[in-house]
Amino acid sequence: MKEKILVTGGAGYVGSHIVVRLLNGGWRVVILDNLSNSHPAVVKRIQRVTGRTVDLVVGDIRDRLCLRRLFQEHSVRAVIHLAGLKSIRESELHPLRYYDHNLFGSAILFDEMINADVNIAVFSSSATVYGPTGCEKCKESATPAPINTYGKTKQMVEEVLKDLRRSNPKWQAAILRYFNCAGAHESGLIGENPLGEPNNLLPILTQVASRKRKRFSIFGSDYPTRDGTALRDYVHVEDLAEAHISALNGLLNGSPGWTINLGSGVTHTLFEVVRSFEKVSETKIPFEILDRRTGDLAECCADPTLARTLLSWEAKQNLDRICEDAWRWQKRNPWGYAHG
Ligand SMILES: NC(=O)c1ccc[n+]([C@@H]2O[C@H](COP(=O)([O-])OP(=O)(O)OC[C@H]3O[C@@H](n4cnc5c(N)ncnc54)[C@H](O)[C@@H]3O)[C@@H](O)[C@H]2O)c1
């Protein structure tokens, strides 16, 4: 059996898929999650999918005592750090909440890692660190210029990790900038289960398809793109999870770390996503076209070259597969994990 990995936010959407991959790869896992946007039933599902057990510590990354106890009770080799808040809109309304969870929470976690002599971290950053220009093929070398509080907190945590690396060469950190993560585990047992209003596209589409929501709102159909709607780079959550395992292995094999885009390098318009979803779900998605939202970009796409070179990773699943898996998850779990 391999060593133990702490996954903060491991009960959440991306985290639960990473935990499945870790367990299937022979790692032992402890999850730390305050369950503010997740359900404890995910642990049973993970166990059903993998046939392996996983420890869940219900707690907050801002709680030093909880972290101290966790590191005393579990011999952790590395941390995959996903815990945090992720709504751009909410971050604009409640910036302090975002600085508190995302920035201060991360600083407390890293400090307790130092106290526990754990110095390997994989961090979930985001394409939102890129500014409004140059997003056609974002390169990691571009100067970050986030335009919302959420993106700023991600960029600041990236800087904290880089400073830690500079302060002590023992620190190894992989900073992974996700593009639009979507899809679900192919078993239909694990998927995205937002507790409040969903922010991401696929949960909204699945809610419209299952008549929980009347229509899908498209903000802007006059962008300079092939059909006027915004272009985004969608990456399957299973592909994303696999990239974390590659990054973890790279760090454990001695790499000091890197900052890497996780995207497919291919973009789809909103209309293309709607059409793909209608095809695989055999449903009709009623939609309305509204004005553009401030801050939305015409296009956001990853340059995935560095991920290929450094992690030998590339996204394998296409848009139809993303929609198919998201729809299977929704059909089998109309109320998410609420019924266990
Ligand atoms: N989903 C995406 O498309 C996407 C894109 C870019 C970056 N990210 C980042 O990836 C990470 C995971 O995203 P996700 O989509 O799985 O979100 P999620 O909300 O499903 O998962 C985050 C988890 O963290 C937990 N959490 C939140 N604050 C916490 C705290 N203070 N202490 C302990 N646990 C806490 C939540 O309960 C949740 O289970 C986030 O950091 C997010 O910003 C996600």
CB-ligand 1 contact for 151 (6 Å cutoff): no
At 300 the three-state DSSP class reads: strand
Task: Reply yes or no on whether the pLDDT at 270 is more than 70.
Answer: yes
Q: What pLDDT, on a 0 to 100 scale, did the predictor assign at position 64?
A: 98
**Other C-beta atoms lying within 10 Å of the C-beta of residue 107:** 16
Identify the CA nearest to 313 among candidates 221, 258, 253, 247: 247
- Please report which confidence band the pLDDT of residue 339 belongs to, taking 50, 70 and 90 as the band edges: confident
pLDDT above 80 for 152: yes
Average pLDDT of the chain to the nearest whole number: 95
pLDDT score recorded for residue 134: 58
pLDDT at 105: 98
List all residues 6 or more positions away from 124 whose beta carbon is below 8 Å from its beta carbon.
9, 14, 80, 81, 82, 84, 176, 178
58: which 2 tokens?
């219900």
Tell whether ligand 1 has an atom less than 6 A from the beta carbon of residue 190. no
227: pLDDT strictly greater than 70: yes
At 115-134, the pLDDT tens digits run: 999 999 999 999 999 987 65
Query: Is the pLDDT score of 338 beyond 70?
Result: yes
Q: Is the CB of 274 under 6 A from ligand 1?
A: no
pLDDT band of 48, cuts 50, 70, 90:
very high
Q: Is residue 150 among the annotated active site residues?
A: yes
pLDDT band at 97 (very low <50, low <70, confident <90, very high): very high
Range of lowest pLDDT (194-198, 225-229, 297-301): 194-198
Would the pLDDT of 40 be above 90? yes
Band the pLDDT of 226: cuts 50, 70, 90: very high
Which pLDDT belongs to residue 41? 96
Topology of domain 4-183+235-264+301-316 in CATH is Rossmann fold (3.40.50)
Identify whether the C-beta of residue 4 lies closer than 8 Å to the C-beta of residue 52.
Answer: no
Is residue 295 predicted with pLDDT exceeding 70? Answer: yes
Mutate to test the pocket of ligand 1, among 34, 62, 156, 157 (most ligand atoms within 8 A of CB): 34
Average the pLDDT over 165-175 and give the result: 97
> What's the pLDDT band for 244 if we cut at 50, 70, 90?
very high
Q: Among residues 49, 13, 48, 8, which one has the least CA distance to residue 29?
A: 8
Provide the pLDDT for residue 195.
85
Which whole number is the average pLDDT over 94-115?
98
For residue 294, what pLDDT is reported? 81
Domain range list for the chain: 4-183+235-264+301-316
In ligand 1, the atom with minimum distance to the C-alpha of 194 is 20
Pocket test for ligand 1, best of 6, 18, 37, 87 (most atoms within 8 A of CB): 37
Q: Which residue has the tokens 């696999």?
A: 242
Regarding predicted confidence, which is higher, 199 or 288?
A: 288
Does the Cβ of 234 fall within 6 Å of ligand 1?
A: no
Q: Token pair of 33, please?
A: 């999650």
Q: Which of 150, 178, 234, 337 is catalytic?
A: 150
Q: How confident is the model at residue 110 (pLDDT cuts 50, 70, 90)?
A: very high
Instruction: Cite the DSSP H helix spans in the chain.
Output: 13-24, 42-50, 64-73, 88-93, 95-98, 105-115, 149-167, 201-209, 237-252, 270-281, 305-311, 319-332
Mean pLDDT for the stretch of residues 264-276: 97
